[in-house]
Amino acid sequence: MNLPLIATLTIIGTASASAVDYAQIKNLFSQKCYACHAVSKGKTKGDLALDTPEELGKVIKPDGLMIPGSPEKSKLLDSVKLPDDDDDVMPPKGKNRLTPEEVTLLTAWIKEGASITGGGAAPAAAPAAPAPGAPAAAGVETWTSSDGKAIQATFVGMKGPDALLKMASNGEVFQVPLSRLSEESQAKIKAATGMQ
């Protein structure tokens, strides 16, 4: 079983009722990072910009500076946590450092998948009914955990009693027990696969 998605659903399930909105992160980046890392300001120190979706797409990816769902592996997050005297600390030389609350906010956003779409992608239209037992070729949809927290993913099939969901934020496929999904999400999977 692949535990990262279960951990993601658990983290989402234990987070506050409202997930971190990208608008909060954009405001944080604007206040703390854009002075040196913004195409709009003509400054991209270290070839890094954080002010456009295109530039963020270069940073938020499985091998990027921010790894969706994995703050512990995200180098950008590491750099804002370094001590003031470290050569790699960001922002440098103790200028305009992130507060502990801002680091917590950024960590939570990365943990939640680092979505820059605000509410995630809109659910795809329901696919045509597949043959019984065959996985649906659905697009990105909202999948809800049993405690009501949502993620954006594509259903790609079943592996035993577990659903395989491909995360919209980073393309990783995770195996999730049906019991960890809401009744509505379970019903979508059952309808897509012809399960009883």
**Number of residues that this document lists for the chain:** 196
Please indicate, yes or no, whether residues 29 and 103 belong to a single structural domain of this protein: yes
**Could you tell me if 104 and 36 lie in one domain?**
yes
Neighbour-count burial for 66-80, b at 16+ CB within 10 Å, e otherwise = bbbbbbeebebbeeb
Residues 96, 134, single domain; the answer is no
Domain that holds residue 191: 120-196
CA 96 vs. chain centroid, Å, equals 26
CATH number of the domain to which 186 belongs: 2.30.30.700
Binned at pLDDT 50, 70 and 90, residue 81 comes out as very high
How many domains does the chain divide into? 2
Least confident piece of the model among 15-19, 67-71, 79-83, 187-191: 15-19
Give the model confidence (pLDDT) of 87-117 as tens digits.
888 988 767 899 999 999 999 999 888 888 7
126, 97: one domain: no
Lowest mean pLDDT among 101-110, 131-140, 163-172, 184-193: 131-140
Q: Do 134 and 94 belong to one domain?
A: no
pLDDT score of 137: 38
Domain assignment of residue 71, yes or no: yes
Give a yes or no: residue 14 inside a domain: no
pLDDT above 60: residue 37: yes
The owner of tokens 């200028």 is 95
Does residue 56 fall inside a structural domain?
yes
In terms of pTM, does the model score above 0.75?
A: no
Residue 42's Cβ-count burial label (10 Å; 0-12, 13-18, 19+) is exposed
Pair 36, 104 in one domain? yes
| 168 & 190 share domain | yes
* End-of-domain residue from the set 64, 85, 111: 111
Confidence grade of residue 118 (pLDDT, cut at 50, 70, 90): low
Per-residue pLDDT reduced to its tens digit, 165-177: 888 777 777 778 8
